[in-house]
Structures are given as C-alpha cells and as structure tokens.
C-alpha cells in the first residue's frame, strides 16, 4: 500500500468546515441552523457583474493570460489608484482567489523551513498554505482585551531570525475585525525595512471599515515599494466568493516576475469570473454605501446583544465582518459540536467557528469562537438568544 506524504498528514482540516457533518445531521432532524461560522455574505452580488456573465459572447472558452487579462489589470490599477495605492497593471497578477495569491506570495519569498511572523489569532487557512509551502508560522499573540491591536513591535523583533522572511497581516482582520492604524503600519514598515523582510498584507476586507476610520494599505505612503505584497480578492468586496478571483500586487519587480512563474505553471485564472470581476469594478458607490450601513448596523446590534450575556468577552471589531468572542464555557470546540448535536431552542440552533483553529499556539483561544455577522439583523438577534440559552444549559450539564 503506497503512503501519504508527511505534508499531507500535517495539512490541517478546515476548522470552519469540520463541523459541517454535525450541522447536516441537525438539519436532517428538522433543526434550523443559523450559520455564524462562515464568511459567506448574504449580500447580493452587484447586478452589473452578473449581467456581464449573462451577456458574454464567448464561443471558445479560451485560456486567458497567466497574469490575467490586460483589460482587467488596467482597470484594477485605476481602482487601486483611487484607493491611494499607486500601482500599474504590470504590478498586478490576477489569481484564483486571494488563496492563490497567498500561495504564490509564500512560494516566492519562502523556502521550506523559512519563517513568517503572524499576529494571532489569524485566518485559519494561513496554516494550510504554510503547511503546503513548508513554511513555519511564528505567531505573535494579540489580545482580546486589547481588541487584538498590534502587539508591541518588540515582540516581533524578538522573533526575527535568519529564517524570517516576512511578516503577514490581515487588515482589517479575519477573525479579529481589528483595523490597524497608520501608526501601527508605520511600526511594521520600520521593522521590515530594518530587517529586509517582506510585509504581506491581506487586504481583502479593505472596503469594510466602519466608524469613519480610513483603511491604511501597506502600499500607500509607507515607502514599502520593495517590501510590500498585497493579497486581494473580489470575494467579499462584491459578494462574489464563488468567482475565485483575487490578485497579488507588488512594486517589487522580482516578486512579480517570480509570482508570474507560479502563475504560468497553472496556465490562467478562470475566464468567466474575470469577466464578472472586471464588470464589478463599475459597481456604483451607492452599493458599497448600503452594504457598509448594513454591516455597521449588524455589528452594532451583535455587539450590543452579545454584551448582555454574562461572563462573555467581546472584541469590538472596526472592520471586516467578524468578531471573536470568549465564552464562559470549558471548551469552545466541544460547545460548538454540542450546539449542533444536543441543543436547540424552539427547533433552532447556531453554528459557530471555534477559534482555536485561528491560533497556531496550542492551547490558545480554546474558549473563543469567531462569529461572522453575515446574517440579517433579526437572525442575528435570534442567534444570540440561542447562544445565551445554550451557554446556560451547557454549564448546567
């Protein structure tokens, strides 16, 4: 019998998706499950993007260029310039989702055994990509009590070794919802320049910032032309998760030419989805205004409802559409499974993402969960009611 690779054995299961069978069983028993566990927005995709697909005149569905279509990259450069990110089309490589951009970035800057420092908790799939690439994640703990603000820069500096190749941030953060300030990015800029590191910034939630605070891109005004790599995606921006279109942006020519070689090996990003993504760039500002108002209202409602639960700690999110919550339970993994297997309130329950999977340090986040506020307000209210009743019952058992 041939055997699987060690890498394959070490690949993590998705902590977000591993509860799926329990949810499916609950549904089979007639229980309604509110999905707080996954960042799949319920917001409609812009009509302009969907119409572009319906009106396509393709006869031969051909490969596009490995770096993505010229027209799309040109228009995308204009989008970035509007966001104070001064790049041109040659500094953009279109990828199959932000996922592939991250894989290309890791492959371009790291060899097996190299290290990337990441503030934790972090987006769980960073674990998957680093395992696939043979990269070691070195975590820096950020704290729920500080809303997951950037840890002191000395904590990063302590961890930098000859193996360190990059610092990776997600801004605004998944799962934290934290939005880094100009001062925080400035501190990161100073340290990566001092130590010749890359600063990889996952900015897929760029538009999702509330409270009139401005998003700070690593490619804005920090002098990081050589160091910065942006990971981006249309998934959340236009509620087009299924398109699988993202991009890698860098002004470092060697990064681009290297990432292009990875892109050539897989031939091209999906053609239909590029058509939709190019059209989506014409989405009117009113679409975003409405979406932001909706998410802000959901966030405010969620935080206010959650804070009524005794013994709970909530990090107040400033962006994206997630928040991390510490529950008064012994173990969030067990609790999340119990919610689906053994609990219901009026035949309804909730599915949450246990936060331990967002940490790479063993034993951290075991009482925390991530909630994605991608449901409409009345469902969020119901969900928090369910959560409150569940905690009471769970702790009585």
Say whether 246 sits in a helix, a strand or coil. Answer: strand
> Bridge-partner residues for 141, per DSSP?
120
Q: Which is nearer to its own copies, 287 or 338 (CB)?
A: 287
Residues contacting its own copies: total by CB under 8 A? 83
**Gap between the Cα atoms of 124 and 381, Å rounded:** 27
Among residues 86, 186, 220, 226, the one that binds its own copies under rule CB under 8 A:
226
In 3D, which of 347, 343, 363, 345 has the Cα closest to residue 355? 363
In the block, tokens 């760039």 appear at: 281
CA distance 209 to 42: 18
- Taking the least distance from each CB to its own copies, the nearer of 169 and 309 is 169
Question: Which residue of 22, 34, 36, 45 would you call a contact of its own copies, by CB under 8 A?
Answer: 45
Contacts of 28 (CB under 8 A, 6+ apart): none
Burial degree of 145 (CB within 10 A; 0-12, 13-18, 19+): exposed
Q: What angle do CA 287, 284, 76 make, to 5 degrees?
A: 110
> For its own copies, which stretch binds (CB under 8 A), given 137-145, 190-198, 213-221, 306-314?
190-198
**Residue 192 binds its own copies (CB under 8 A):** yes
Positions 232 through 271 that interact with its own copies (CB under 8 A): 239-244, 252, 254-255, 258, 261-262, 264-271
Per rule CB under 8 A, is residue 4 in the interface with its own copies? yes
360 binds its own copies (CB under 8 A): no
**Where in 286-325 is the site for its own copies (CB under 8 A)?**
none
Per CB under 8 A, the list member of 91, 114, 120, 184 interacting with its own copies is 114
Minimal distance, residue 201 CB to its own copies, in Å: 14
Minimum separation from the CB atom of position 259 to its own copies (A): 8
CB of 147 to its own copies, least distance (A): 27
Assess whether the previous peptide bond of 175 is cis (omega < 30° from 0). Answer: yes
Distance in angstroms (rounded) separating the CA atoms of residues 35 and 383 = 9
Positions in 122-181 near its own copies (CB under 8 A):
125, 128-129, 132, 134, 165-166
Read off the DSSP letter of residue 281.
Answer: T
């Amino acid at each position: 019998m041939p055997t699987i690779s060690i890498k394959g054995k070490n690949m993590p299961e998705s902590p977000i998706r591993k509860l799926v069978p329990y949810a499916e069983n609950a549904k089979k028993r007639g229980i309604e499950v509110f999905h707080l566990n996954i960042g799949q927005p319920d917001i409609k995709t812009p009509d302009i993007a969907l119409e572009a697909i319906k009106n396509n005149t393709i006869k031969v569905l051909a490969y596009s260029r490995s770096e993505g279509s010229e027209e799309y990259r040109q228009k995308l450069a204009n989008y970035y310039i509007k966001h104070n990110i001064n790049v041109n089309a040659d500094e953009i490589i279109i990828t199959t989702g932000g996922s592939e951009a991250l894989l290309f970035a890791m492959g371009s800057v790291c060899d097996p055994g190299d290290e990337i420092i990441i503030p934790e908790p972090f987006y769980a799939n960073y674990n998957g990509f680093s395992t696939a690439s043979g990269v070691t994640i070195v975590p820096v703990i950020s704290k729920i009590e500080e809303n997951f603000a950037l840890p002191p820069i000395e904590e990063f500096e302590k961890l930098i070794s000859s193996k360190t190749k990059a610092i990776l941030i997600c801004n605004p953060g998944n799962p934290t919802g934290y939005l880094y300030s100009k001062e925080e990015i400035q501190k990161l800029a100073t340290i990566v320049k001092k130590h010749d590191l890359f600063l990889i910034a996952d900015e897929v939630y760029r538009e999702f910032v509330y409270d009139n605070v401005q998003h700070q891109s690593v490619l804005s005004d920090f002098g990081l032309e050589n160091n910065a790599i942006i990971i981006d995606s249309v998934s959340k921006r236009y509620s087009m998760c299924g398109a699988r279109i993202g991009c890698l942006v860098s002004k470092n020519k060697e990064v681009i030419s290297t990432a292009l070689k990875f892109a050539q090996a897989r031939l091209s990003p999906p053609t239909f989805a590029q058509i939709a993504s190019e059209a989506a760039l014409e989405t009117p500002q009113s679409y975003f205004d409405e979406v932001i108002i909706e998410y802000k209202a959901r966030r405010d409602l969620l935080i206010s409802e959650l804070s009524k639960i005794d013994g709970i700690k909530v990090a107040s999110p400033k962006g994206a559409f997630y928040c991390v919550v510490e529950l008064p339970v012994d173990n969030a993994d067990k609790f999340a499974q119990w919610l689906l297997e053994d609990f219901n309130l009026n035949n309804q329950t909730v599915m949450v993402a246990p936060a331990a999977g967002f940490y790479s340090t063993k034993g951290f986040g075991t009482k925390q969960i991530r909630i994605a506020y991608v449901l409409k307000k009345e469902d969020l209210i119901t969900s928090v009611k369910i959560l409150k009743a569940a905690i009471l019952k769970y702790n009585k058992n």
